[in-house]
Structure 1
């Protein structure tokens, strides 16, 4: 087993922590900036994200809320992929953590997606790193109307 790697995104968003929190924790809003889901902001809640299947992966990300401290901290497990799908990366067992801090003119957002083990998860790390890097702009856009 290799060393674990994390994707880290930090961005200043021009909305209050409460508005960003609502955008991160309301199922229909999450679907607008990430994926369809059955999320509920409650520690222990199990939920899924759904996307297009790739290879023999069914497109379902299995998650569980690990920590929920409104409006500052949200953490959930992120498990998906397939052990027989090496062209698209092997099974991923990781954790996504969102931290919101009030800042002048809005909120400092920090997102850490940790648990990518190389070489097996290198493909997911590269692809998801590109997607997560754009997420702050999408959250800002959705939060403006939330």
Structure 2
């Protein structure tokens, strides 16, 4: 009997000096998502399919097919993330603290043969989360 290689997960966690409601807006409103992640036709409704799109260079187009898996306003948002052969799940969890909110982003589903995608996601999500924090800081 052979063992199945472990599925890897990228986790980024940080505390943000803002209430969960403010972070939720940045996670769920299209114009704000575009500021920190990518253009999308996202709507926070379970079962809703949507797409993230980006063109970082004229010769490169990024399309991520997604479906909303779980929505608990101001608490948890989860969606599938499929691109370039990767089938994964992205989950954001918001936990209120005395100083603001701990936001945890977890992307799971990286197979052992997807090391490049895993390393790329680890680097990209750090940048995305820093951009998210900036967007949240600028919200009224």
- Per the normalisation by structure 1, the TM-score is 0.86
> Contact 1:10 / 1:110 at 8 angstroms: preserved in 2?
yes
Match of 1:8 among 11, 34, 40: 11
Instruction: Tell me the secondary structure at the aligned position of residue 91 of structure 2.
Output: strand
> Contact 1:13 / 1:136 at 8 angstroms: preserved in 2?
no
Instruction: Tell me the secondary structure at the aligned position of residue 77 of structure 1.
Output: strand
Root mean square deviation, CA, Å: 1.8
Moved more, 57-66 or 13-22: 57-66
Tell me the residue number matched to 2:137.
144
Instruction: Tell me the secondary structure at the aligned position of residue 137 of structure 1.
Output: helix
> Any residues of structure 2 matched to 1:17-32 within 5 Å, and which?
17-32=20-35
Higher relative strand content: 2
Tell me the residue number matched to 1:86.
none
Shift of 1:97: 0.3
Match of 2:77 among 65, 74, 79: 74
- Per the normalisation by structure 2, the TM-score is 0.89
Instruction: Tell me the secondary structure at the aligned position of residue 111 of structure 1.
Output: strand
Structure 1 stretches of at least 4 aligned residues deviating more than 4 Å after TM superposition: none
The one-character-per-residue Cα deviations of 1:7-62 (angstroms, maximum 9, x if unpaired) are: 001100011000000001111101110111110011111000012389xx852100
Instruction: Tell me the secondary structure at the aligned position of residue 132 of structure 1.
Output: helix
Question: Which blocks of at least 5 consecutive residues in structure 2 are unaligned?
Answer: none
Match of 1:103 among 77, 97, 102: 97
